[in-house]
Amino acid sequence: MAVRIAEGSGYTWLWPDGSVTHAAHYPVGYPAALALVYWALGAVPGLAMVLNALVGALGCLAVHQMLAPLRDRRIALVGGLLVAFHPGLVGYTPALMTEGVSASLVACAAWAATAARANHDDRRRWLLVSACGLLLGAGTLVRPQCLVLAPIFGAVAWGARRGLRRALVAGAVVTALALAVCAPWTARNCDKMGRCALVSVNGGWNLLIGTDPAGEGAWAPLRTPVECREVFDEAAKDQCFQRAAGRTIVAAPGAWLALVPKKLSATFDYCGAAGWYLHDANRKAFDDRAKLVLGVAETVYERAVVILALLALWPRRLARERPGPIRWFLAAILLAGIAFACSRHGWIAHLALLVTLCWRRPGLLRAHPIYGATWATLACVAAVHAVFFGAGRYQMLVLPMMCALAALGLGRRVGLARTVSRLLGR
């Protein structure tokens, strides 16, 4: 698709019989970015990998800059390095896929939100809020679920301490700007696809796949319903799949809901995308053993990041006399999350992180923006793929934010040892 755009053929399919049709099945953002590189320098896959590496480096910088205002600047260095050396992100760089790019764009939007919160000049603050909206708009063109983050990132950028009303206005501004970035492409879809899809027309496909128990919550070959077999228009076929999925869910809601834990497991337990794509591209250069080694390294690294992120939320006052019941409740959830992070059910550790972030004082809109941005990104990924279907590569959207939170967990003193000592009467 990127080559066709670079050649001036637009975002279109070229079919074996020579016919050409307009496309919108996949989001346009990443192919358009590649097309710009191909148009300027030539359609060489290596250039796409360089683009992925540069955008990934920008994500590392974003995490570093989010943490830089903290007193201990070593935390910022640790955060940036955690992203830079993440086996999943590094190994995924050669893949011409969207997840790594969208993860970096989300990290940059969180950086803009963090800078806006720290700025005391209203004019500069609104400029940074606007930058957050534009970045999320670009992210939406790459991965549409990024739009869900816009109102929360905007509210986090302003913060409740400066007034809840202004925080809500900031959320609305970020959302409006993100939609404005997508508006020209939406207008194109209205004209060329016969359907005013915001970015792409594959939601029906994904929803139908997510209703298939054979997939066990993950991707499975789509079983085309009888009524959709003679529908060939791209947008109309997606709508047909959406209606079929809706009927399946309504007919057996319990069976559909029973797939949710499996979908979350497929998303958060193990990524593995980097090794899979490298192995699939060249089985001789990247054999089964290399795939296994990368998968193990990636899983250990990700679980360590989750544990550090949980430790970053450990209640500091838990070791004091007569801690409140909420602190004990949070401590229990955190300990359970750490235990599950060391098991095959890592998705439960991510849910523990979500719950703890909600209960943590002084609240998501008052705490450092990293907490609110991480919660929003993690909640977005969990909710979207609980509805559709799960895959390890989808968790990549939240990896830079998790690394930022993990750096906080690594860089601060945790009261866990003191609490255990107190419980033992020492």
pLDDT digits (tens, 9 = 90+) for 146-164: 999 999 999 999 887 667 8
Look at residue 397 in the predicted model and tell me its pLDDT: 96
Residue 35 predicted with pLDDT over 80: yes
Look at residue 81 in the predicted model and tell me its pLDDT: 96
Unique residue bearing structure tokens 């998968």: 295
Residue spans of the domains in the chain: they are 44-423
CB of 268 within 8 A of CB of 346?
yes
- Of the candidate ranges 62-76, 274-288, 342-356, 408-422, the one whose mean pLDDT is the lowest: 408-422
- Of the candidate ranges 23-27, 72-76, 306-310, the one whose mean pLDDT is the lowest: 72-76
H or E element that contains 365: none
Averaged pLDDT, 312-334: 72
- φ/ψ of residue 359, rounded to 5: -90, -15
206 vs 222: CA distance, rounded Å: 9
* Cβ-based neighbours of 176, under 8 Å, separated by 6 or more: 133
Pick from 288-297, 308-317, 321-330, 415-424 the range whose average pLDDT is largest: 288-297
Averaged pLDDT, 416-426: 48
Banded model confidence at residue 320, pLDDT cuts 50, 70, 90: low
Look at residue 328 in the predicted model and tell me its pLDDT: 81
Banded model confidence at residue 316, pLDDT cuts 50, 70, 90: low
205 vs 25: CA distance, rounded Å: 9
Unique residue bearing structure tokens 């360089």: 50
136 vs 116: CA distance, rounded Å: 15
Look at residue 414 in the predicted model and tell me its pLDDT: 43
* CA distances, 199 to each of 8, 24, 25, 174, 182 (Å): 20, 7, 9, 18, 7
In DSSP terms, which residues pair with 218 in a beta bridge?
Answer: 390
Provide the whole-model pTM: 0.93
Banded model confidence at residue 318, pLDDT cuts 50, 70, 90: low
267 vs 388: CA distance, rounded Å: 11
Residue 385 predicted with pLDDT over 50: yes
Each residue's pLDDT tens digit, 361-378 = 667 778 889 999 999 999
Amino acid at 188: R
CB of 140 within 8 A of CB of 102?
no
Handedness of CA 121, 125, 127, 128 (dihedral sign): positive
Banded model confidence at residue 138, pLDDT cuts 50, 70, 90: very high
Question: Percent of the chain at pLDDT above 90?
Answer: 78
Look at residue 365 in the predicted model and tell me its pLDDT: 75
161 vs 366: CA distance, rounded Å: 6
* CA distances, 292 to each of 81, 272, 279, 287 (Å): 24, 9, 10, 9
Residue 292 predicted with pLDDT over 90: yes
H or E element that contains 12: strand 12-14
Look at residue 415 in the predicted model and tell me its pLDDT: 43
Structure letter (DSSP) for residue 226: G
Two structure tokens written together for 87: 């086996």
Averaged pLDDT, 94-105: 94
Handedness of CA 312, 318, 324, 330 (dihedral sign): positive
Residue 416 predicted with pLDDT over 50: no
Average model confidence (pLDDT) for the chain? 91
Averaged pLDDT, 274-284: 91
- Of the candidate ranges 49-58, 77-86, 114-123, 297-306, the one whose mean pLDDT is the lowest: 114-123
